[in-house]
Structure 1
């Protein structure tokens, strides 16, 4: 019984870290994966570096973005989920 109460603060600390740090990060990563897989040609997007454009072509891991300056090939993971969602709401 004494050893259990000795480890209770460590166990409680791990549970708090899990629910406030690890779990939200896993949920965000899952949402980003779903967003990347749901992209389709013609979607208006913003990259994480701030480039605005429209999806011209899709491949397994890459996407071709049509911008005012031309076409750029980028990784799907370079597209910002939050900023693209707010752009499409307008």
Structure 2
């Protein structure tokens, strides 16, 4: 029984470590994978290198990102660090309000 009581602090430290560090990191990685798989044309993104651009096309493993007018780079989906904005849907109402 004494050896079991000696292991209890180590077990508690491992449990706290898992709850405070590993679990939130796993959740963050899962959200990032979901974000990277749901990219669509028109999304404004930031790459892991800090380059900002707009998604102009995507296939299974790669994404075409336009970083300047006429400059498109092909990057791995894993290089997308953050989606800044979703593409705005075009509607007839917005065209009518611009005529005023």
TM-score, structure 2 as length reference: 0.78
Greater helix content: 1
- Three-state SS of the structure 2 residue aligned to 1:80 is strand
Deviation of 1:73 after TM superposition, in Å, equals: 0.3
Tell me the distance in 2 between the aligned counterparts of 1:43 and 1:58.
11
Gaps of 5+ in 1: none
- Deviation string for 1:27-53 (max 9, x for gaps)? 111000110111101111111111111
| Match in the other structure for 1:51 | 51
| Match in the other structure for 2:22 | 22
Gaps of 5+ in 2: 87-100
Q: 4+ residue runs of structure 1 moved beyond 3 angstroms?
A: none
CA RMSD of aligned residues (A): 1.5
Greater strand content: 2
Please point out which of 65, 81, 85 is paired with 1:88.
85
Deviation of 1:72 after TM superposition, in Å, equals: 0.1
| Match in the other structure for 2:37 | 37
- Three-state SS of the structure 1 residue aligned to 2:85 is helix
- Rg larger for: 2
Aligned pairs, number: 85
